[in-house]
Structure 1
Amino acid sequence: MKSIFQDLRFSIRQLLKSPGFALTAIFSLALGIGATTAVFSVVHAILVDPYPYAKPERMAHLRLEQSPTDNRGANLSFPQWQQLRKSPAVEDAFITDNWSLTVTGHDLPEDVNGSFLSSNAFNFLGVPALYGRGLIPADAIDGQDPQPVVVLGYKFWQRHFNSDPTVVGHTLQLVRKNYTIVGVANPRFTWDDGDVYLPLKITQDQVAEHYVGIRLKPGISLKAGTEAIAPLIEQFQKETPKHFPTGGHYKFRLYGLNEDTVQNLGGTLYLLFSAVVLLLAIGCGNVSILLLARGAGRRHELALRVAIGATRGRLIRQMLTEAVLLSATGAALGILLAYRSLAFIIKQLPEYSFPHEAAIRLDIPVLAFSVVLALLTGVLFGLWPALQLSRPNIGEIIQSGSRKVAGSLSGKATNNALIATQIALTLLLLAGAGASIQGFLKIMHAPLGYDPHNVMSVGIPVHENTYPTWEARSTYFNQLQKKISEVPGVTMTAISTNATPPANGWETAVQFLGKPTNDDQKVRINFVSPNYFPVLGVPRLQGRIWDETENLHGLPLVVINETMAKLYFPNGDAVGHALKIPDLHDAPPYNLVAPGAEGWLQIIGIVADKRDDGLRKPILPEAFIPYTLSLRMWTQILVRSSVPPLTLLHAVGSQVISVDPDQQISGNIQDLEQWITGQQEYQQEHLVALLFGAFALLALILAAVGLYSVVSYTVAQRTNEFGIRLALGAQRTHVLQIVFASTTVSVGTGLAAGVALTLALNKLLSHWAEGSSHDPLILLLVTVVLCTVAAIACALPASRASLIDPVEALRH
């Protein structure tokens, strides 16, 4: 034990004598381990263990797949849900619904997201309440009105009740009705992102359709569950055909609870994790280079220690102690860095692309991974130089006496291999960063086809049991638009039920009068007012737009975009034709359809294309019909203003209250420029570009430091040689050439290997980044950058070598 403490004290003294070496090694490890730990924490929390629910691996969504990229939920009625629960493959199932509610009884009403759950849902999900209890079967008996009880969502409880733990038993008024608070949900219970959870009334209604979540019985796979439930879905389709795609051209499949997240974000996270693993490899290689170079400089010291009786085991233990001390310090700092960087990464994640139940933190598995990784790396790059240098040729080194030697051929080969590997991995990271940045720039500068500047989208929900007739709801929406138009600073308004770009519309099949029916004729249907087009600056190309009178009467008219006109009417004669939307049905109170809306709609105009399927995908066929043809329980009013629109939000909200004091605007209002940056593809490309770029920059710095360290040690070991050359008349440029030549092979090999790796992995890289890593300009640019940095890293010690005083050099 005493000798171990001696080794530790000696190691600390040695590292303090070489602070540049110690700090560089620790910094290299801290960066690699910190970044790897942070990203691994995100991957673990989102993709491996995101849900706190009971047996989440057996929970599933019901989906109807119409194409590999187009699937929708298989929503069911209450009787169908009860029948599904009896399936031999299903352990249990719950049913949910959502409504926007208003907290009343206060000076300032507040819009909240109400999640209505069947009374078995809390038991099904299995997450105990933080305070009080969840919903229980007695809260909602089938066929009866539910009890007036409510469970508060955790964030709503924090915001509205200031985290008061005594809130259970108090009363909360929602839309003029009092509810008793029976519990506060657990922080990780965020199903449907509900602010409040209420019992759902179960009836025999076959019109309403709701989300149903199921849990399969033990031992039943998703595939087996799909096969067992498919006959029931076919039966339900016959019972309620309006709940299913027209024509029945779909494939039923069960989706795992987290399958959407894995598909949408998994590749991006694995790509970033691969990037930080490369960064960690570069950092570990850096420390290996430093230790090898430093060990070569200690050959004389080791020879003397062996000469006076030091054993090989003692030498190995000493050098391993130094390496483990470095790695442990680097790991500790890396974990601290991970804590700091984790919060930053979380902020960059696309908001709705991962489960909000996920607890992203540095948990025990991640910490264990970091500790083991640090110890392994310490042993690996401590043992290698230790074994090489623990058997020095005492006679050769002592005979060399006071002169430095360049080191063994094997040592040079090892250094060259490590440098080449660093260069190759750094080039790969730089090429990936270049591709991701190129992709993000494409997203940023994608032509929109509309003007989002100074426009905001104000969501306005319609509460349950209000405006139940077509006439009442149409009048209400019209009054809202007129009142908001009167706000000072507002220049124009339009109603856009579902048409807020760049991703908008209800995709469904259509039929054309006089043409064969084809279920592949998919069109995005948008419900808008006639002012929609001037508000967004979308130009009319042909025909006309319906007017306000036609809009108020809900006339069966339609305007299509240029893409749809070219696809379905290649002869340029779209205006005057008619189409029908088979899936447009009257379903009160959720959807109130105007007379004639289920028949043929006349095409009266063509407008220019705008983005309707995101910022990356091609524009799809799009049709616009008067919003009065289909009045939903939700609408949006687009507001164009002469000032920043969000500054008018309070005035707009006041106008909404003046029409109906119980109705509120939704809680998350954005202008359309924020709407664009909030798109998942925008945020995902931004995340990849930002983090990939940061990792590539750090890798470039680490590679430069590693190259600089090797060249510096080489110069130090060859000081006497350079002095002799200069004393014999060699030019300083000759010395510079020697130093640069010592790294040419390793750097050149690394560049060639890096280009080969980049080309080999391009398909994978381009799948998760819009740009292409084998773009000649990107490859050329990153190669030039890497060569420049390598040249600078070599030039500094080479310049020192060329300025060596021959007299001083010979004294060594």
Structure 2
Amino acid sequence: MGTLLSDLRFSFRQLVKNPGLSLTAIVSLAFGIGATTAVFSVVWAILMNPYPYANNDRMYHMRLWDIHGRQTGFGLTAPQWQELKKSPVIEDAFLVGGWNLTVTGSDVPEDLNGVYMSSNSMNFLGVPALLGRGLIPADAVDGQDPQPIVVLGNKFWHRHYNGDPSVIGKNIQLVRKNYTIVGVMPPRFTWEDGDVYTPEKITQDPVKAYYVGIRLKPGVTRAQANAALEPLIVEFQKQSPSHFGADKFRFTVVGLNDDFLKDLGGTLALLICAVGLLLAIGCGNVSILLLARGTARQHEFAVRSAIGASRQRIVRQLLTESLMLALTGAALGVLLSWKTIQVITDLLPKYSFPHEAEIRLNVPVLVFSVLISIFAGVLFGMWPALQFSRPNVSEVMQSSTRKIVGNVRGRGVYNALIGGQIALTMLLLAGAGAAMEGFLKMMHAPLGYDPHNVMSVGIPVHDGTYKTWESRVAYFEQLQKKIAEVPGVKMTSIAHNATPPANGFEMKAEVLGESTQSERKIRINLVDPQYFPILRVPLAQGRIWNESENHNAAHLAVINETMAKQFFPNGDAIGHSIKMAELKPEPPYFVGTQGSDDWMQVVGIVADKKNDGLSKPVKPEAFIPNTIAMGMFTQILVRSDASPLTLLHAIKLKVSSVDPDQQVNGQVDDLEHWISSQQEWQNEHLIAWLFGAFAVLALLLASVGLYSVVSYSVAQRTNEFGIRVALGAQRGHVLKIVFSSAIGAVAGGMGAGLVLALASSKLLAHWSEHSVRDPLILVGVTVVLGVVALLSCVVPARKALGIDPMTALRYE
């Protein structure tokens, strides 16, 4: 024990004696461990263990693939759900619907996300309630009104009841109906992000459609499920064609996490590569410093050996020093990883990962990262000990006592480590440059509309209200009129489904006079005539329908320039007629005028605007009066002179004045934030931000490591430089000696980095708009890395020039 304490004290003195080297090594490991642990913990939570549901490996969504290879969902009626459960490949199935509900208690109703579930749903999902109970089959018998009970989501319980455990048995009023609270779900139960869960009334209604989730029987493969269920789904399509997004399709089951893997898997893979490079750079930094320090201590090892120290004793001492460095860096890395996990989680696209995932510090990942770092520290700390613990004492004592570079093999290892570090840093910089360029291009791409000072106010319609076309038109128009009265509101527009940059219902369109075989897909937008001026979308040709025509649901259409070019290449779109046969009303959920699926005359052409996301080409789209067909939800666009969100409370009061039971959607954003909420924007933002941060860290680590090594080299050769200066060596000669110790390794590393960047360009281009083959990116990162490397060597070089020969000759 006494020997161990002695080793620890001596190790601590050694670290304090060389604070620059020690801090650089510790910080390098801390950054590498912290970033790696954080990213791998996020990946583990999202990809490996995202769901708390029982047997979630056998839970599947059902999807369709149309003839164009696009994946779509579909809905089933309650009778179809009951028929589906009888399939021999299905163990169980549940259905889910949803409505916006309100809870009163303030000056305006609070919007709630109500999730209506079949009474077997919570047994299916297998997550026990945190308090009370979940839904049970006795809560809803088929064909009968369900019990007036409700289960609270965890976030709503904390938000509305401050986490009060005594809520069980209390009443809550939702849309003026009393419900008894029977349970509270745990934090990880977030199905459909529900605020409240209540049983759905199961009827033989042939119109109302639901999401249906299935669990396959043990041993049933996806291929077997697809083959067994596709004929049944085809039959369901014949029964209710409007619930299916395609006439011809291929059916498939999709795992719970497959969509998230598709949306975020590539981004996470890229981040894994980035932090892997950062960890390698950090370990490389430590390796270079420990090798340099160990080589410089040849004289110390020789003296120890000469006075009787055994090889085992010297090795044990260096092992203690290396472990102290590695463990200190690992401890700081753990602290850093906690904060980094939160930063990454905040940057993740909101709907790109399962909200059930518990993203927290993952102990196995942490242990792995720490062990890798300790291994690197110990390996390169022990190497000099093993190499020099049996020195030729007379040879070392006669040679220079302060010499960092030993033999040719030592120089080769030293240069290889510096070169590798520079190469990996350059690869990270090139990837970050490509990601940032792609993100900046997306940010500055022309939108075709003006989102500034415009917000989209979503207003849901409660189940069983405004069932007729006349009542719904009157309600929407009254809402618009009241909102327009709010001081500060400059203009309003009803746009049921037309908030860009991703908008419209995709439907098949026919052109009058053409064969039905020429049907093509277009985007249909239900808007009023104020939609175009409020978004400042210019009219290119023809006219927009007026307010009177909008009120009367005139069969008129305005199309965009892309549709005009594709459908009417002769430039004669005005006066032609188009028809969307799928635009059929299904009261009471989707109401419309007589002949809403009939021919509509094209009266105008507007300029293109983004309608399929920020990076995809504009799709053909048509705009028709919003009164032709209306669903259970509308959006009112509001333009103001100042930030429109400051008017939101006043708008909510106006909505409540029209109908106290109705409310504004809980999530309201202005259109500039609407853009930043897009999946592609958030993915690009995440990659650019984190890749850039990791690249900056790598550059910092490489520069500090290079600076420390060159400074250490100058310090060890103080007497040599003093003698050279005393003998008349010129400044340029001294500078050449200093720079030559690193310039070869730096140049080689930059060359290897360019090769790596070019070789990995296809991989990086998969997640970035621009390839790293872009000459501007390659030149830019080469210049940046070259300048940083030069500056890292300049300061030690100036120190070498300032050495006083008399001081150097006395230097011990």
Is this a same-fold pair by TM over 0.5?
yes
Deviation at 1:373, TM superposition (A): 2.9
Please show how residues 126-165 of structure 1 align to structure 2 within 5 Å.
126-165=126-165
416-425 or 199-208, larger mean C-alpha shift: 199-208
Following superposition, the deviation at residue 332 of structure 1 comes to: 0.8
Alignment of 1:170-189 (within 5 A): 170-189=170-189
User: What secondary structure does 2:16 align onto?
Assistant: helix
Q: 1:355 to 1:402 in 2, by over 3 A?
A: closer
Q: Residue deviations 1:397-426, cap 9 Å, x none?
A: 112265646322211111100010011000
Contact 2:291/2:381 (CA < 8 Å) preserved in 1?
no
SS of equivalent residue, structure 2 residue 449: coil
Q: Which moved more, 1:453-462 or 1:643-652?
A: 643-652
1:730 aligned residue: 729
Match of 1:197 in 2: 197
For the structure 1 residues 576 and 322, does the alpha-carbon distance in structure 2 shift closer, same or farther, using more than 3 Å as the test? same
| CA 402–279 in structure 1, closer or farther in 2 if over 3 Å, else same | closer
Assess if the C-alpha contact under 8 Å between 1:452 and 1:536 holds in 2.
yes
Who is 2:84 aligned against?
84
The SS at the match of 2:603 is strand
Greater CA drift, 580-589 or 152-161: 580-589
Give the letter for the 2:465 counterpart: T
Tell me whether 1:481 sits opposite 2:480 in the alignment: yes
Query: Structure 1: 5+ residue runs without aligned partners?
Result: none
Q: How many residues align?
A: 811
Higher alpha-carbon deviation: 102-111 or 340-349? 102-111
Q: State the shift of 1:91 in Å.
A: 1.4
Let me know the Cα RMSD of the aligned residues.
1.5
**Whole-Å separation in 2 of the counterparts to 1:141 and 1:112:** 25
Moved more, 52-61 or 800-809: 800-809
| Secondary structure in structure 1 of the residue aligned to 2:208 | coil
Question: In structure 2, what is the Cα distance between the partners aligned to 1:325 and 1:403?
Answer: 25
Distance in 1 separating the partners of 2:226 and 2:372: 41
Is the contact made by 1:406 and 1:717 (CA closer than 8 Å) also made in structure 2? no
Counterpart of 1:52?
52
- CA offsets 1:648-705 (integer angstroms, 9 cap, x no match): 1111111111111111011111111111111111121111111111111110011111
Between 1:743-752 and 1:11-20, the stretch displaced more is: 11-20
Residue identity matched to 2:40: F
Which residue of structure 2 lines up, in the alignment, with residue 117 of structure 1? 117
Deviating more after overlay: 522-531 vs 550-559: 550-559
Structure 2 CA distance for partners of 1:390 and 1:174, relative to 1, 3 Å: same
* Letter of the 1:176 counterpart: R
The residue type equivalent to 2:650 in the other structure is: A
Alignment of 1:85-100 (within 5 A): 85-100=85-100
Q: Which one-letter code corresponds to 1:711 in the other structure? A: V
Match of 1:631 in 2: 630
1:107 Cα deviation after fit: 4.8
Deviation at 1:67, TM superposition (A): 5.8
1:478-627 to 2 correspondences below 5 Å: 478-518=477-517, 521-627=520-626
User: 1:555–1:596: 8 Å Cα contact kept in structure 2?
Assistant: no
Task: Say whether the 8 Å CA contact 2:15–2:22 is kept in structure 1.
Answer: yes
Q: Aligned to 1:668, what secondary structure does the other structure show?
A: coil
Q: Is the 8 A contact 1:172 1:180 kept in 2?
A: yes
- Residue in structure 1 matched with residue 73 of structure 2 by the alignment: 73
In the alignment, what sits opposite 1:343? 342
Q: Percent identity?
A: 63
Aligned to 1:774: 773
Given residue 49 of structure 1, which amino acid in structure 2 is its aligned partner?
Answer: N
Counterpart in the other structure of 1:40: 40
SS in 2 for 1:207: coil
* CA-to-aligned-CA distance 1:18-58 (integer Å, 9 cap, x gap): 22211111000000100111111111111211111112221
CA shift for structure 1 position 216: 1.4
Tell me, in whole angstroms, the C-alpha distance in 1 between the residues paired with 2:321 and 2:631.
70
Quote the offset at 1:5 in angstroms. Answer: 3.1
Deviation at 1:238, TM superposition (A): 1.8
Q: Secondary structure at the match of 2:427?
A: helix
Query: Structure 2: where are the runs of 5+ without partners?
Result: none
Give, in angstroms, the shift of residue 68 of structure 1.
Answer: 6.9
Q: Distance in 1 between matches of 2:44 and 2:402?
A: 54
Map Cα deviations across residues 419-463 of structure 1 (whole Å, 9 max, x no partner): 100110001111111111111111111101111111111000000
Contact 2:295–2:403 (CA<8 Å) still a contact in 1? Answer: no
1:583 deviates by 1.7
Cα distance in 2 for residues equivalent to 1:301 and 1:713: 16
Query: SS at 1:614's partner residue?
Result: coil
Instruction: Give me the TM-score of the superposition, normalised by structure 2.
Output: 0.98
Q: Take 2:518 and 2:341, find their aligned partners in 1: how far apart are those partners?
A: 47
Q: Which amino acid aligns with 2:696?
A: L
Corresponding residue of 2:333: 334
Aligned to 1:166: 166
Distance 1:757 1:32, change over 3 A: same
Alpha-carbon deviation of 1:581?
1.1
Q: Which residues of 2 match residues 742-761 of structure 1 at below 5 A? A: 742-761=741-760
Match of 1:353, SS state, is coil
- Hey, what's the Cα distance between the residues in 2 that align with 1:401 and 1:596? 98
- Could you tell me which amino acid in structure 1 is paired with residue 154 of structure 2? Y
**Partner of residue 804, structure 1:** 803
In terms of mean alpha carbon deviation, does 30-39 or 794-803 score higher?
A: 794-803
Residue 90 of structure 2 is aligned to residue 104 of structure 1: no
Listed as ranges, the matches of 1:136-535 within 5 Å are: 136-246=136-246, 248-400=247-399, 402=401, 404=403, 406-518=405-517, 521-535=520-534
Matched AA of 1:14: Q
Deviation at 1:313, TM superposition (A): 2.1
Give CA deviations for 1:469-509 in whole Å, capped at 9, x if unaligned.
11111111111111111111111110010100011111122
- The change in CA–CA distance for 1:608 and 1:745 in structure 2 (over 3 A counts) is same
The structural deviation recorded for 1:522 is 1.1
Deviation at 1:65, TM superposition (A): 1.3
Offset from partner CA, 1:121-164 (integer Å, 9 cap, x none) = 11111111111110000001111111000001111111111111
* 1:189-224 deviation per Cα after TM superposition (whole angstroms, max 9, x unaligned): 111011110101111122111101111122223233
1:481–1:493 Cα contact (<8 Å) kept: yes
* CA offset digits 1:745-766 (Å, max 9, x no partner): 1111111110111111111111
Distance 1:727-1:337 versus aligned 2 partners, 3 A rule: same
TM normalised by structure 1 equals 0.98
CA change 1:653–1:600 in 2 (3 A) is: same
Residues 55/403 of structure 1: CA separation in 2 closer, same or farther (3 Å cut)? closer
Moved more, 389-398 or 479-488: 389-398
Aligned to 1:765: 764
Is contact 2:108–2:653 with CA below 8 Å preserved after alignment? no
Q: Deviations over 1:350-380 (max 9, x none)?
A: 1111111111100333333334334333333
- Tell me how far apart the structure 2 counterparts of residues 374 and 345 of structure 1 sit (CA, whole Å): 22
Question: What is the aligned partner in structure 2 of residue 684 from structure 1?
Answer: 683
**Once the 2 structures are TM-superposed, how far is the Cα of residue 519 of structure 1 from its aligned partner?**
6.9
Cross-structure match for 2:31: 31
The CA deviation at 1:598 is 1.2
Is this contact kept in 2: 1:526–1:623, CA < 8 A?
yes
Q: Is residue 458–residue 636 contact of structure 1 (8 Å, CA) maintained in 2? A: yes
- The answer to whether the 8 Å contact 2:72/2:245 transfers is no
| C-alpha displacement of 1:520 | 6.3
In 2, Cα distance between the equivalents of 1:68 and 1:749?
A: 49
How much has 1:645 moved relative to structure 2?
0.7
CA contact (8 A) 2:497 2:505 kept: yes
Distance in 1, matches of 2:519 and 2:409, equals 67
Query: 8 Å contact 2:152–2:195 — kept in the other structure?
Result: yes
Contact 1:105 1:176 in 2 (8 A): no
Pair 1:715-2:743 in alignment: no
